[in-house]
Structure 1
């Protein structure tokens, strides 16, 4: 069942994803202003599998919505995936994941519901706060059970992390490490190590108003759960990230198999008007 946890976490940390220790800054506000509210649908499939992999095929779709809620960002993700294993068994997974994140980086709410073969597998719900002085924060879980979890100083929430990656990309920085809390499961925060490649022109194959004349950066991210002492990342992701926060494509590498996500449809959402 580790695949369930990985897949639910992936897009939130990467696409949802410059505040440093002081969340309110002119630099981060300027970066956030360029985010384009949008709804995207991706076709997901197995890109490759090693000989030792138990996964023989992956098929499905993912909807990702990033909306402007005046003082915050809301995201909604829906996964519908079918895993086929080498032994012939199949697993149908559906995940609904919604969040609200304050633009100043201090508050966050999350709600996740996962079903496997039509039965509820996991529910995660709660909220998180960071101190204004940057000394740390706390995540409060309501489901699967009541639990408080400390967050280290400098922790970012997913949308702020994406803004931070874009901010670094525009300034020409190559390496960026930060702890991120997304609430996708009850395991806590994750350290994400990102490498940003040279900018290229967006392909612009979907919704020209959102992609025409935009820069796109290839970003490679490695995910290290804080609770783990493993030297190797839990998984890695390659993403083509546009300057307005749209992800043109993604490849999610779990070690023994890799899932490909290709953008099928893309539409702009109305701005808040605040």
Structure 2
């Protein structure tokens, strides 16, 4: 069975989550962060001998103007079947109140023709209506209180700062085919400020001394019969939405993302 890199963009929503603290009270810091990828040695890997790569993540905007996210992930896997190179790019914009969403995702493996998802979504009378142009032109209607990616981040942060250890929520981010909704289970640890063992980028500048929360999010395909998550992401989430110590568990193997650089980006205040 060949090893593949799952086509998912919801890492963007992680890097960017109802709780007693209003989500609007949480402020996400515009920033650019770079992570070095490697094979996670704490998990026995199947058919993967080594891994390397990089994630560059950029968040801009605010609750008034909306949030834009750019993410690029390049991964090289040394597998039993040879080298597998994956390149994922994601560009999204989300209304600050979660009423509208625009997404464009491209995934290329070993230089083959890219897989793409492209579309817009807006809420109408309690239904999320998605109009996609790729991978095919279609309209999808999703009922219920599904969250968009930045909404999810804000809800997780709100739960964390309120001391809520569990958050369950359906999430839609447009990948892989503009149709799927994932049920998520977030397990949130208590806030910590100890800087022992932190990367230099995580203990300097505006990240110095900030509270962070250990978070593990499991993603389950809605309607699926398998009780095993499609994949699991673990990370430390700072109280301004910045992440470090990524672990991307795909089942047969896991990747670790180490924060190697962090750059604050200009912050725009909402008009009075």
**TM above 0.5, one fold?**
yes
* CA separation of 1:42 and 1:202: change in aligned 2, threshold 3 A: farther
Structure 1 residue 224 corresponds to structure 2 residue 220: yes
Q: Which residue of 2 aligns with 1:189?
A: 181
Q: 1:259, 1:81 → 2: CA distance?
A: 10
- Report how many residues are paired: 262
CA-based RMSD of the aligned residues comes to 2.1
Q: How does 1:79-90 map to 2 (within 5 A)?
A: 79-87=73-81, 89-90=82-83
Match of 1:238 among 234, 237, 257: 234
Q: Which residue of 2 aligns with 1:179?
A: 170
Contact kept, 8 Å, 1:18 with 1:163, in 2: the verdict is no
**2:158 aligned counterpart, secondary structure:** helix
1:17 CA drift (Å): 5.2
1:196 CA drift (Å): 0.5
Structure 1 residue 264 corresponds to structure 2 residue 260: yes
Q: 1:111, 1:45 → 2: CA distance?
A: 26
Q: Which residue of 2 aligns with 1:91?
A: 84
* CA separation of 1:152 and 1:4: change in aligned 2, threshold 3 A: farther
Q: How does 1:97-246 map to 2 (within 5 A)?
A: 97-131=90-124, 135-186=126-177, 187-201=179-193, 203=195, 205-206=200-201, 208-246=204-242
* CA separation of 1:170 and 1:17: change in aligned 2, threshold 3 A: closer
* CA separation of 1:227 and 1:122: change in aligned 2, threshold 3 A: farther
Gaps (5+ residues) in structure 2? none
Could you state the TM-score of these two structures normalised by the residue count of structure 2? 0.89
**2:224 aligned counterpart, secondary structure:** coil
Contact kept, 8 Å, 1:15 with 1:159, in 2: the verdict is no
CA deviations 1:190-225 (Å, max 9, x no partner) are 111001011111636216233112111001111001
Q: Which residue of 2 aligns with 1:23?
A: none
Contact kept, 8 Å, 2:6 with 2:250, in 1: the verdict is no
Match of 2:65 among 71, 75, 78: 71
Q: 2:219, 2:3 → 1: CA distance?
A: 14
